[in-house]
């Protein structure tokens, strides 16, 4: 058995990584504003403009990448632990689709043009509807009922989104919807941060609440119940925590895939496979990966902006395949 | 602490799976729950624990209704070793045994010295010291059973319910697990174990409860309950019997149908 680094060291290392990447994210951008500009040593912009660019453009973008990455990593880990299914991610319970549908409705109806926060608010509303429907359909059922209900909700929300695209008044409206769905944290303001952060943090607290039950659940539901785990309560915590935090994340950034699926797999060996220890590690890992992806987006962007959701999927999918191959090789050896 | 289940009834649809079954486990007693496949043994165990809903009957711990206890308090009183031996996520044996302390912890608790002592003691009881750093998923059937039994022992509950603790084990490990359960009961724990091996039931159990078609049809010392009539009625078998140093032994030998089979 190979020795792994201790949990506090791992968490400290991940925190340091997130801090370094976030600092990098504040100092990299198309305007060319870097560290020297902030202290008036640049020919391109004066220090005042530089501080405005960093404070009003890059700060909200970085904060959103960190918190949304944390949300996706954390909720992916919590769902995989609860469902005892390594393929679970926030999309599996339908919350990403319903939040997207809310946002699409805001774009389609034109509310978002009248009132900028209509889009995130409707998206969060969509996520909350998902929780209510899920609790109604699968509140007392098993894991399978929850997954099936999630798939049904997801398909229905996807169909409704397609319907909105189908009937969109003009090609530009359709394009706006499609681009939004691809996911991005570019051009967001601190308003977006203030709107989404409370929901995300509330969701994190609820998810961490369930942590210890997740460990007991790795012995199966019967053992968990015999150890005093309240399954209905744990399910309600996981579903609500995921929906509230991922709903808020989707509301301000659109659909960003693969972070919630891949990061828990990446972190699991580093926390000795414990579902409870995985939560924080996976959250920090998700934050690091999303900030790094957003830096990549900015570094290679020319003309049309490359969307963050596209990058995470392009990196995430092959990486996931590699994880699958490695797991198969481990099984065979 | 004494566990008393009275008139437990469980239905699946219209079918009575457990039919007004009653049994009791007293401190220091090793009780075998026996009966053919589908007799309702596992269902009865789960109904007692509240893992599955029951359609009638009561379970009392020292006279108090068990279902009215808070989940963790109930978990501290009655430990359970389920038939399902799967462990997800490559958790190490050490982490699995530590989960036995879950009912004693509040929230993100680290193990107390007392909790650590309970874990160490449970690991010693099953001779599991060498397995601790290995993932349970890669252990052999016998090793896995011992580690999961240690998990149940780490609860330090006054009552242990075990569902087929020796299923799929070789004779050496069957005897090992039976000896662990026997030693546990001699120290005062009330143990109720579902068991298919009539020879080991006759040898180790203080008392056996025989189930047939959901109902309890015998409850008493093995020598009395495992009578030729009961074996014919419940299992449709005949057994060889003998005596070894004052202890009766029993060996299932032929089945009723064998006579008419054209095998």
What DSSP string describes A243-286? Answer: HHHHHHHHHHH----SHHHHHHHHHGGGGTT-HHHHHHHHHHHH
Look at residue A302 in the predicted model and tell me its pLDDT: 66
Average per-residue pLDDT in chain B? 87
Cα torsion A113, A117, A120, A125 to 10°: value is -100
The distance of A51 to chain B (nearest Cα, Å) reads 42
Q: How far apart are CA A241 and CA A75, in angstroms?
A: 8
pLDDT of res. B107:
57
**Dihedral class, residue A119 (left if φ above 0, else alpha if ψ from -120 to 50, else beta):** alpha
- Please, are residues B67 and B59 in contact by the beta-carbon 8 Å criterion? yes
Question: Can you tell me the distance from the alpha carbon of A174 to that of B74, in angstroms, rounded to the nearest whole number?
Answer: 57
Q: Name the pLDDT band for B263 (thresholds 50, 70, 90).
A: very low
Query: A125 and chain B: CB distance < 8 Å anywhere?
Result: no
Between CA A126 and CA A105 the distance in angstroms is 10
The reported pLDDT for the residue numbered A203 is 92
A232 and B CB contact within 8 Å: no
Residue B21: strand, helix, or coil: strand
Instruction: State the Rg of chain A over Cα.
Output: 20
Candidates 3.90.190.20, 3.40.50.720, 3.40.1010.10, 3.40.50.300; CATH matching B3-259? 3.40.50.300
Please report the sign of the dihedral spanned by the C-alpha atoms of residue A277, residue A4, residue B120, residue B30. Answer: positive
Burial of B111 (0-12, 13-18, 19+ CB in 10 A): middle
Q: What is the pLDDT of residues B36-79, one digit of tens each?
A: 998 889 999 999 998 888 888 899 988 888 888 888 889 999 99
CB atoms within 10 A of CB B112: 12
User: What confidence tens digit (pLDDT) does each residue in B84-141 have?
Assistant: 888 888 888 888 999 888 888 865 567 888 888 888 889 988 888 888 888 888 888 8
Span B252-256, average pLDDT: 84
Query: Cβ B75–A227 below 8 Å, yes or no?
Result: yes
Q: Which residues of B touch A218 (CB under 8 A)?
A: 87-89, 91, 99
CA atoms of A122 and B118, how far apart (whole Å): 52
Q: Which pair of structure tokens corresponds to residue B8? A: 């437990």
Q: How many CB atoms lie within 10 A of CB B241?
A: 14
Q: How far is CA B256 from CA A225, A254, A307, B39, B170, in A?
A: 40, 69, 73, 18, 27
Kindly indicate the confidence band of residue B188, based on its pLDDT and cuts at 50, 70 and 90: very high
Residue of B nearest to A86 (CA): B89
Angstrom distance (rounded) from CA A205 to CA A100: 23
List Cβ neighbours of A311 (8 Å cut-off, separation of 6 or more): A293, A296, A297
The answer to whether the beta carbons of residues A241 and A259 sit under 8 Å apart is: no
Four-point Cα dihedral A108, A114, A119, A124, nearest 10: -120
Q: How far is CA A328 from the centre of its chain?
A: 27
Q: Do B212 and B234 meet the contact criterion of CB atoms below 8 Å apart? A: yes
Provide the pairing of β-strand B56-61 with B3-12.
Answer: antiparallel
How far is the C-alpha of A327 from the C-alpha of A228, rounded, in Å? 33
**Quick check: A329 contacting B, CB < 8 Å?**
no
φ/ψ of A302, rounded to 5, equals -140, 140
Q: Say what the pLDDT of residue A4 is.
A: 64
In angstroms, what separates the C-alpha of B197 from chain A's closest C-alpha? 24
- B141-172 pLDDT per residue, tens: 888 898 999 999 999 999 999 999 998 788 88
Residues B149 and B79: their CA atoms lie apart, in Å, by: 10
Cα separation, A257 vs B107, in Å, equals 31
Which own/partner pairs from A160-167 qualify as long-range (CB within 8 Å, at least 24 positions apart)? A160/A101, A160/A104, A161/A97, A161/A100, A161/A101, A161/A104, A164/A101, A164/A104, A164/A105, A164/A108, A165/A104, A167/A108
Helix (H, G, I), strand (E, B) or coil at B241: strand
- Collapsing DSSP to helix, strand or coil, A4 comes out as coil
Specify the fold of A7-332.
ABC transporter involved in vitamin B12 uptake, BtuC (1.10.3470)
The alpha carbon of residue B183 and the mean position of all alpha carbons in its chain are separated, in whole angstroms, by: 14
Q: What is the pLDDT of residue B22?
A: 92
Alpha carbon B110 to chain centroid, angstroms: 29
Q: How far apart are CA A252 and CA A292, in angstroms?
A: 18
Tell me whether residues B89 and A230 touch, CB distance under 8 A. no
Question: Which residues of chain A, if any, have pLDDT below 70?
Answer: 1-4, 30-44, 139-141, 301-302, 331-333
- A215 chain-B contacts, CB cut-off 8 A: 95, 99, 102
Q: Do A219 and B74 touch (CB under 8 A)?
A: no
Instruction: State how far residue A219 is from chain B, nearest Cα, in angstroms.
Output: 5
CB contact under 8 A, B89 and A218: yes
Residue with tokens 């169909």: A159
List, in order, residues 6 or more apart from B262 with CB less than 8 Å away: none
C-alpha to C-alpha distance for B161 and B143, rounded to whole angstroms: 19
Which residue from A84, A216, A230 is facing B102, i.e. has the nearest CB? A216
What's the complex ipTM?
0.86
The token pair that represents B74 in the structure block: 């109930």
CB A203, CB A245: distance < 8 Å:
yes
d(CA A260, CA A77): 7
Q: How far is Cα B90 from Cα A250, in angstroms, rounded to an integer?
A: 32
Assess contact for B8 and B48: CB atoms under 8 A.
yes
Strand, coil or helix: A121: helix
CA distance A307 to A325: 28
For residues A12 and A28, what is the distance between their CA atoms, to the nearest angstrom? 24
> Furthest-apart CA pair in chain B: how many Å?
64
């Amino acid at each position: 058995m190979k020795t792994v680094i201790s949990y506090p060291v791992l968490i400290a290392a991940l925190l340091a990584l997130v801090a370094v990447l976030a600092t990098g994210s504040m100092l990299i951008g198309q305007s060319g504003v870097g560290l020297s500009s902030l202290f008036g040593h640049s020919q391109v912009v004066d220090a005042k403009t530089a501080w405005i660019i960093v404070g009003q453009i890059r700060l909200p973008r970085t904060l959103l990448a960190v918190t949304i990455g944390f949300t996706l990593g954390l909720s992916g880990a919590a769902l995989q632990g609860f469902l005892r299914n390594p393929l679970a991610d926030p999309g599996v319970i339908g919350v990403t689709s319903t939040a997207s549908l809310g946002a699409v409705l805001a774009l389609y109806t034109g509310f978002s043009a009248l009132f900028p926060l209509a889009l995130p608010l409707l998206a969060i509303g969509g996520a909350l509807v998902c929780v209510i429907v899920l609790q109604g359909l699968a509140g007392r059922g098993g894991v399978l009922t929850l997954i099936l209900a999630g798939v049904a909700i997801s398909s229905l929300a996807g169909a409704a989104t397609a319907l909105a695209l189908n009937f969109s008044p003009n090609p530009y409206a359709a394009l706006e919807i499609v681009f939004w769905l691809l996911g991005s944290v570019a051009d967001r303001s601190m308003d977006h941060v203030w709107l989404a952060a409370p929901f995300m943090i509330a969701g994190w607290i609820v998810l961490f609440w369930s942590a210890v039950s997740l460990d007991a659940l790795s012995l199966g539901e019967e053992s968990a119940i015999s150890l005093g785990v309240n399954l209905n309560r744990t399910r309600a915590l996981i579903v609500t925590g995921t929906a509230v935090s991922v709903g808020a994340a989707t509301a301000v950034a659109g659909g960003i895939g693969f972070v919630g699926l891949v990061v828990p797999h990446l972190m699991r060996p580093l926390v000795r496979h414990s579902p409870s220890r995985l939560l924080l590690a996976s959250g920090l890992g998700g934050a690091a990966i999303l900030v790094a992806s957003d830096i990549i987006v900015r570094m290679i962007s020319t003309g049309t902006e490359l969307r963050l959701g596209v990058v995470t999927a392009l990196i995430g999918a092959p990486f996931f395949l590699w994880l699958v191959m490695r797991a198969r090789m481990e099984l065979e050896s | 602490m004494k566990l008393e289940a009275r008139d437990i009834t469980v239905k699946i649809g219209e079918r009575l799976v457990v039919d007004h079954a009653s049994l009791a486990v007293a401190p220091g007693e090793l009780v075998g729950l026996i009966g053919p496949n589908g007799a309702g043994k596992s269902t009865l165990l789960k109904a007692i624990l509240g893992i599955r809903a029951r359609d009638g009957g009561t379970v009392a711990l020292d006279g108090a209704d068990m279902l009215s206890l808070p989940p963790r308090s109930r978990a501290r009183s009655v430990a359970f070793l389920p038939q399902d031996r799967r462990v997800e996520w490559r958790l190490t044996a050490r982490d699995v045994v530590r989960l036995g302390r879950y009912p004693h912890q509040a929230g993100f608790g680290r193990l107390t010295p007392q909790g650590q002592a309970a874990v160490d003691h449970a690991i010693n009881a099953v001779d599991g010291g060498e397995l601790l750093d290995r993932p349970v998923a890669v252990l052999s059937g016998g090793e896995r059973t011992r580690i999961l039994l240690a998990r149940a022992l780490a609860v330090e509950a006054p009552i242990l319910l075990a569902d087929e603790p020796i299923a799929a084990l070789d004779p050496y490990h069957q005897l090992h697990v039976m000896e662990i359960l026997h030693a546990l009961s001699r120290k005062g724990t009330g143990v109720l174990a579902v068991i298919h091996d009539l020879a080991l039931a006759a040898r180790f159990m203080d008392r056996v409860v025989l189930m047939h078609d959901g109902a309890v049809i015998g409850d008493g010392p093995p020598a009395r309950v495992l009578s030729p009539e009961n074996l014919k009625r419940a299992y449709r078998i005949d057994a060889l019997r003998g005596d070894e140093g004052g202890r009766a032994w029993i060996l299932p030998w032929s089945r009723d149908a064998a006579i008419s089979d054209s095998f």
